[in-house]
Structure 1
Amino acid sequence: MAESEPSLRESKRRATRAAIEDYASALAAEKGFDNVTVDDICAEVGISKRTFFNYVDSKETAVLGAPPRVPTDEERAEFLATEHEDILSALCRLAFELATTVRCVAPEQRATVLKRRRIIRRRDPDLAYQNVAGVHTMAAALVELTEEYLELYPGRKTLSAPPSHEAQSLVSIALCTLQLGNRIWLEQADGSDEALENCCIDALHELTTIFQGRSL
């Protein structure tokens, strides 16, 4: 069933959130993160500070987007309820949902905003560290979930090693896939979520082809 069109109020809400992240990332990329204030962002967007904090919880979120997150209880239950034909693809899809930080940005601006955020993190080691810490937290949660999955469906194990070892390997490949997919996505014109997801799928196929072609 096709999704219904958002209401005018919802459309305005999405546009405001997109504008906050667009202007915040542009200002920080131009002036430096520490030289931009919430007041600066509000002035560019044309909103009050009260409205700003109704949409985002901090300047960091406005500039860099929501950080990578861990699976919700519902996402964990859904993942464990299915014996996936391809556990790696399923894991990549879940990791994609958890790690994507540009969903609130207008589709035509997503690649631009992501490039700005990379520039901002390169200039500020503390911000880069925060992002890495968020990814590590997400990865640890995915390893725990994958280990639980392999214990629940032992027939899906590929390695003779313990489930914890295989889970770590699967999550490492999934995160590598997302990183490669992001790089492919940034090199093309289509900045949509669908294009990003397709690039991650292509990246997984590329990695699989390389692994299959190697003789150990």
Structure 2
Amino acid sequence: MLESIGVVDVGTYALGSLLIVLCPGPNSIFVLKTGITSGPRVALAGACGVFLGDTVLMLATYLGVAAVIAANPGIFFAVKLAGAAYLAYLASRVLWGTWRPVFAHEAGVAVETPGKEAPWRDVLTGVAAFRTALTLSLTNPKAILFFLSFFMPFIDASKGHPALAFLVLALILQFWSVCYMTSLAQIGQPLLKFFGRRPVFGRIGNTIVGLVFYFFAVKLVLG
């Protein structure tokens, strides 16, 4: 049935797209961290930002924006720099929020911590999580080129329905993404209970997240 609209080898595509979604990246790490620090509802808001961002990039790919970016190295590099700068900003925010109270305490400086939240927790609102995740998605130029290179081999334009075939492939990818991101948002609460009783582990986890964001920033520029 799908072959009639131009979708080629849908089984291989479905498996490949699942494996790609499961690969760790800035978006998935952000949703997981948000689930730990701010709860599943806020993490789901962040996941919605990822879904919207990916949808915009897939639409841009279909409309030919990816080809324009690929043909203009200057534009591509500028978008890469913007994405790397935003990742570095998030990494710095995570590390600063995690270790500032520790250093301030050692220096004898009082640091206000709202409520009873652990000092290593960077609690977000749903709007902030959505906005951050959306920005992460839209400032990843490799994603739009990935959609271009990954979708095209599975579309047979000679069938006369390239737009419908592209939509089917996009829906399959988004289905895996929804399942995965929703799961990440939900497992944050058990991890919160574990880290909440062990603040040292929470600081270690946040430090790892910050360093991973720095790694993605460097990889984005140099890759």
TM-score (norm 2): 0.28
Question: Which structure is higher in helix share?
Answer: 2
TM-score (norm 1): 0.28
Q: Which of structures 1 and 2 has the larger relative contact order (alpha carbons within 8 angstroms, sep 6+)?
A: 2
